Chains A and B, each alone.
Chain A
Amino acid sequence: EAGVTQFPSHSVIEKGQTVTLRCDPISGHDNLYWYRRVMGKEIKFLLHFVKESKQDESGMPNNRFLAERTGGTYSTLKVQPAELEDSGVYFCASSHLLGLTSGTDTQYFGPGTRLTVL
């Protein structure tokens, strides 16, 4: 079974530019989460999709961030316009919906996208 994949692995952009990150969850996982870690801080939750619906977007820092999950498969996270403080590592994770399997809700993480805004 393929794991969670993320693209690109690294992105370096200028302040004011736009960047789109992509996450492909494990096949069959209805839950998809975005997290990020900025330098020296803990990993913080951004938002949670259940299939194509946003279940919880309480962690989105501001309206420069837009997440989508059309069709309930892969997800994109767009930052427009990017600011210096957006630099960090963006992680995506996925998990089964409880009840469909043995009850596990372990979140499996992708390798992350390292975003550097200059």
Chain B
Amino acid sequence: SQQGEEDPQALSIQEGENATMNCSYKTSINNLQWYRQNSGRGLVHLILIRSNEREKHSGRLRVTLDTSKKSSSLLITASRAADTASYFCATARITNSKLTFGKGITLSVRP
């Protein structure tokens, strides 16, 4: 069964608005990572949050993790057209182990 599931599957917003993407997972984890993929390009690592952390920030990104609900959210504030991409959450059950990905969220930011 799929470990990570993001929602919504597609999100369209206006430049300057905030974008919130959610991810749910099924099993216990060591860490959860968010990645971005621009069309036809590789995966770019955005942020890693460990199971003993609740919130992390990186620039305009804010990630939260609720292990009791087995869910995470990625907030992009003041979105830009350049944020248009697919976003994936991926979980690792133990450190230094394989990642299990969701299907991804397609974010479109309209100029």
Contacts and interface: CB of A to CB of B under 8 A. Distances in A.
Contacts of A107: 33, 45, 99
A44 B101 contact: yes
Nearest to A97: B96
Given A33-B98, A105-B92, A42 B43 contact: no
B100 A45 contact: yes
A65 interface: no
B68 interface: no
Interface string B80-100: 000000001010100111111
B48 interface: yes
A106 B92 CA distance: 10
A108 B42 CA distance: 10
A91 B43 CA distance: 9
Interface in A42-98: 42-45, 48, 50, 56, 58-59, 91, 93, 95, 97-98
Interface in A96-118: 97-98, 104-112
Nearest to B103: A42
B96 A109 contact: no
Nearest to B88: A43
A95 B103 CA distance: 22
A42 B96 contact: no
A45 B98 contact: yes
Contact of B43 (A44, A98, A109): A109
Contacts of B31: 105
A38 B33 CA distance: 21
A108 B103 contact: no
Contact of A42 (B35, B44, B95, B102): B102
Nearest to A104: B48
Interface in B56-111: 88, 90, 92, 95-104
Given A110-B42, A111-B42, A48 B97 contact: yes
Interface string B44-60: 11001000000000000
Interface of B: 2, 4, 31, 33, 35, 41-45, 48, 88, 90, 92, 95-104
